[in-house]
């Protein structure tokens, strides 16, 4: 009789585990491990297609490893999306996260990944805000009001309880209003205002997080008042000129960013208009710019943390598998403690 089985966590079980742990602390630990060279991120698998409605659809397979003194952790996230899923009443992105047994290499945990992935992304934003954001702020702007926006609000109220005001903007008025309704029931302590356009949304607070599906950059430098922190979490919102004019720019993994010219910062790195730190022939100020470094390097004190003062600071995460692996590992350990999940026999 085979002993092979794995633990399955649905969304409810994942949420129960996340409530018991600190996703922001988990993300910070992973970023420190990355900066210390104790992580591995193989090339991700990427399969794009158009569905029958002509909407961009894709599958991404992201493997990663963390090497900790107490043992290595291996895993993967399969995260698929079709941009027209919200019109079907389902979330844009969904998939599965896996944790592997380090000895047998078998998957030992499979979990619903939609919320987990959104929380890992929001956790990175919270770490970036804590290290690189304004020293004090009580209001945050969200551009885009989908699944990522909700995960950001969930973590923001835990990580920054001083934040009492949100300003939101979405091209879809109905999605923005649904989000405001959701906030009113889920986080009633927050006041949420709907901005009439993206420019006024950005101007309304010192912190903006982009969470849209825009494929056309639209945020120029002139929208950002001195003292603004911009977390460019979605792919194509910030213009080339706004990257070049920033007081400071940080990434998560500069190699991953440079390898993907579909994103603005990746194209700028490939064209040499922006260089990674320490690159020979780095452009002088006013003739392109250098990225200051990664958030992990900031956490280790290897590169200076520049908070916005007389200009604006941009954080540009690509999205790293190791953050998913760190979080799924933490969720796995919590699931065992709580006794949640369903054991699936494989044979």
Residues forming contacts to ligand NAD in the complex (CB under 6 A) are 86, 92-93, 121, 143-149, 169-172, 175, 198, 211-214, 218, 233-235, 317, 319
| Minimum CB distance to ligand NAD, residue 138 (Å) | 23
| Minimum CB distance to ligand NAD, residue 100 (Å) | 22
The residue with its CB nearest to ligand NAD is: 146
For ligand NAD, the closer CB: 108 or 200: 200
For ligand NAD, the closer CB: 266 or 341: 266
For ligand NAD, the closer CB: 17 or 235: 235
| Minimum CB distance to ligand NAD, residue 23 (Å) | 14
For ligand NAD, the closer CB: 110 or 122: 122
Instruction: Point out which residues pair with 72 in neighbouring strands.
Output: 67
| Minimum CB distance to ligand NAD, residue 140 (Å) | 15
The residue among 124, 154, 35, 95 whose CA lies nearest residue 316 is 124
Three-state DSSP string of the chain: CCCCEEEEECHHHHHHHHHHCCHHHHHHHHHHHHHCCCEECCCCEEEEEECCCCCEEEEEEEEEEEEECCEEEEEEEEEEEECCHHHHCCCCEEEEEEEECCCCCCEEEEEECHHHHHHHHHHHHHHHHHHHCCCCCCEEEEECCCHHHHHHHHHHHHHCCCCCEEEEECCCHHHHHHHHHHHHHHCCCCEEEECCCHHHHHHHCCEEEECCCCCCCCECHHHCCCCCEEEECCCCCECHHHHHCCCEEEECCHHHHHHCCCCHHHHHHHHCCEECCCCCCCCCCCCCEECCEEHHHHHHCCCCCCCCCCCCEEEECCCCHHHHHHHHHHHHHHHHHHCCCEEEECC
For ligand NAD, the closer CB: 169 or 312: 169
| Minimum CB distance to ligand NAD, residue 117 (Å) | 6
| Minimum CB distance to ligand NAD, residue 213 (Å) | 4
Do 132 and 119 contact (CB within 8 A), yes or no? no
For ligand NAD, the closer CB: 296 or 341: 296
Residues 142, 133: Cα–Cα separation, whole Å: 15
| Minimum CB distance to ligand NAD, residue 128 (Å) | 11
For ligand NAD, the closer CB: 111 or 233: 233
Q: Is 36 exposed, middle or buried (0-12, 13-18, 19+ CB in 10 A)?
A: middle
For ligand NAD, the closer CB: 211 or 299: 211
| Minimum CB distance to ligand NAD, residue 145 (Å) | 5
| Minimum CB distance to ligand NAD, residue 13 (Å) | 21
Q: Which two three-digit tokens encode residue 6? A: 């794995």
For ligand NAD, the closer CB: 214 or 279: 214
């Amino acid at each position: 009789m085979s002993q092979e089985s794995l633990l399955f966590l649905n969304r409810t079980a994942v949420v129960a585990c996340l409530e018991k742990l600190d996703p922001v602390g988990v993300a910070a630990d992973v970023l420190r491990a990355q900066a210390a060279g104790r992580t591995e991120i193989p090339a991700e698998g990427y399969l794009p297609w158009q569905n029958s409605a002509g909407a961009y659809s894709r599958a991404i397979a992201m493997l990663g490893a963390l090497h900790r003194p107490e043992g290595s952790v291996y895993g993967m996230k399969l995260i698929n999306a079709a941009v027209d899923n919200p019109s079907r009443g389902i979330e844009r992105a969904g998939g599965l996260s896996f944790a592997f047994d380090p000895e047998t290499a078998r998957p030992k945990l499979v979990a619903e990944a939609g919320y987990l992935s959104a929380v890992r992304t929001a956790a990175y934003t919270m770490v970036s805000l804590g290290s690189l954001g304004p020293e004090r702020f009580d209001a945050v702007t969200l551009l885009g009001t989908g699944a990522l926006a909700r995960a950001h609000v969930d973590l923001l109220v835990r990580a920054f309880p001083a934040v009492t005001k949100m300003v939101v903007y979405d091209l879809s008025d109905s999605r923005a209003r649904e989000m405001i309704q959701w906030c009113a029931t889920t986080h009633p302590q927050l006041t949420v205002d709907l901005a009439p356009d993206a420019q006024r949304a950005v101007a309304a607070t010192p912190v903006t997080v982009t969470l849209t599906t825009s494929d056309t950059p639209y945020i120029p430098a002139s929208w950002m008042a001195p003292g603004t922190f911009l977390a460019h979490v979605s792919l194509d919102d910030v213009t080339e000129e706004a990257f070049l004019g920033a007081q400071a720019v940080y990434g998560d993994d500069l190699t991953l960013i440079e390898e993907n010219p579909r994103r603005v910062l990746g194209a700028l790195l490939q064209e040499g208009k922006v260089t990674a730190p320490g690159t020979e022939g780095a452009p002088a100020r006013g003739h392109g710019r250098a990225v200051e470094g990664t958030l992990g390097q900031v956490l280790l004190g290897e590169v200076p943390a520049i908070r916005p003062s007389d200009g604006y600071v941009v954080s540009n995460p690509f999205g790293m598998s190791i953050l998913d692996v760190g979080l799924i590992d933490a969720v796995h350990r919590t699931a065992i403690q709580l006794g949640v999940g369903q054991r699936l026999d494989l044979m």
